């Protein structure tokens, strides 16, 4: 169906001032801010919108309190957008906004938006690491690679929890009708999925651990472990709370550091995720593997 990435998230929050400050300190680019809400972007021009939890324009919530109210997907063309609209209209209401974006709900009540992607290409050198006889940084010191602030490149993935009895219909909505691929399917845990135009291990993870539908977390990609640590250190110094200590996940292999998110759920810095294309064969797990290969211990 031509879906390439997460184009944005819309949050309904109960403290706009606090959430605006949090996302600003997280390193996102603030485009607009007022007492009614705010708009932020990643370096690759994905949009994070926050509005008052009672704003009548928001889609209905899957849970009480501050949370994501809509996940917006970026597609490669207007033709793909039209095809998605036709497919979704077969069995559910689809609305079109003034900009041509489409909106509907999935099988478990999560609001989805679809728009033609608007990508800003970011020119950036890959991390440079001296190792043994591989010396790309000869006669150069590390100072030039240091950044005062961590600036997330992109929204990499979003995770929801939901009851296990809805697993089949929840997952097949994305795989059968929107072209997502399952990279890892784990009994008693969930299904990791990538959208059609992505090679990231997962852009969308539906975890059937829980007794209700709820937003779990959103993950923002940064360059490397150093940027994760610098970003986390910056947040800790401003009294934001860690929810999961730095580590490296098993499935996906990404390095990570999670924080409690006043907009709802958790928020993650990540880097170095596994990348798979259409040649990857789905792995099926009867038992969930360890969540992390390793995890640091940090005094909270």
Between CA 237 and CA 265 the distance in angstroms is 21
Give the pLDDT confidence of 224-235 residue by residue, as tens digits: 999 999 999 999
- Residue whose token pair is 């990435």: 5
Helix axes 225-237, 16-26, angle to 10 degrees: 140
Are 187 and 228 within 8 A, CB to CB?
Answer: no
Torsion angles phi and psi, residue 26, rounded to 5: -65, -25
- Residue spans of the domains in the chain: they are 3-116, 154-295
3-class state of residue 232 by DSSP: helix
Is the pLDDT reported for residue 12 higher than 80?
yes
**Architecture per CATH, 154-295:** Roll (3.10)
Which of 145, 147, 140 has its CA nearest to residue 127? 145
Between CA 220 and CA 158 the distance in angstroms is 9
Give the pLDDT confidence of 19-62 residue by residue, as tens digits: 999 999 999 999 999 999 999 999 999 999 999 999 999 999 99
How far the first Cα of the chain sits from its last, in Å, is 44
Asked whether this chain's domains 3-116 and 154-295 adopt the same fold, the reply is: yes
Give the pLDDT confidence of 250-289 residue by residue, as tens digits: 999 999 999 999 999 999 999 999 999 999 999 999 999 9
- Mean pLDDT of all residues in the chain? 96
Q: What is the pLDDT of residue 259?
A: 98
Q: What CATH number is given for 3-116 in this structure?
A: 3.10.180.10
Give the pLDDT confidence of 135-183 residue by residue, as tens digits: 998 998 887 656 678 999 999 999 999 999 999 999 999 999 999 999 9
Are 9 and 50 within 8 A, CB to CB?
Answer: no
The length of the chain, given as a count of residues: 300
């Amino acid at each position: 169906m031509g879906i390439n990435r997460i184009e944005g998230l819309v949050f309904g929050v109960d403290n706009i001032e606090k959430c605006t400050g949090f996302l600003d300190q997280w390193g996102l680019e603030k485009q607009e801010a007022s007492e009614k809400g705010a708009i932020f972007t990643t370096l690759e021009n994905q949009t994070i919108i926050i509005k008052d939890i009672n704003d009548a324009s928001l889609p209905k919530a899957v849970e009480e309190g501050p949370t994501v109210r809509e996940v917006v997907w970026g597609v490669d063309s207007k033709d793909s957008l039209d095809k998605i609209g036709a497919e979704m209209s077969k069995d559910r209401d689809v609305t079109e906004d003034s900009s041509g974006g489409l909106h509907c709900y999935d099988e478990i009540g999560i609001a989805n938006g679809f728009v033609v992607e608007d990508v800003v290409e970011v020119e950036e050198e890959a991390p440079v690491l001296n190792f043994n006889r591989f010396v790309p940084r000869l006669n150069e010191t590390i100072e030039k690679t240091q950044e005062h602030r961590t600036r997330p490149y992109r929204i990499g993935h979003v995770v929801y929890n939901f009851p296990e009895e809805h697993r089949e219909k929840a997952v097949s909505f994305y795989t059968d009708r929107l072209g997502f691929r399952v990279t890892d399917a784990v009994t008693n845990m969930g299904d990791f999925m990538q959208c059609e135009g992505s090679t990231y291990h997962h852009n969308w993870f539906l975890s059937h651990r829980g007794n209700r539908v709820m937003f779990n977390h959103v993950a923002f990609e940064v360059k490397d472990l150093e940027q994760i640590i610098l970003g986390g250190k910056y947040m800790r110094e401003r009294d934001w709370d860690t929810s999961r200590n730095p580590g490296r996940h098993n499935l996906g292999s990404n390095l990570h550091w999670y924080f409690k998110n006043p907009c709802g759920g958790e928020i993650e810095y990540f880097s170095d995720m596994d990348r798979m294309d259409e040649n990857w064969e789905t792995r099926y797990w009867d038992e969930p593997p360890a969540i992390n290969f390793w995890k640091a211990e940090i005094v909270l």
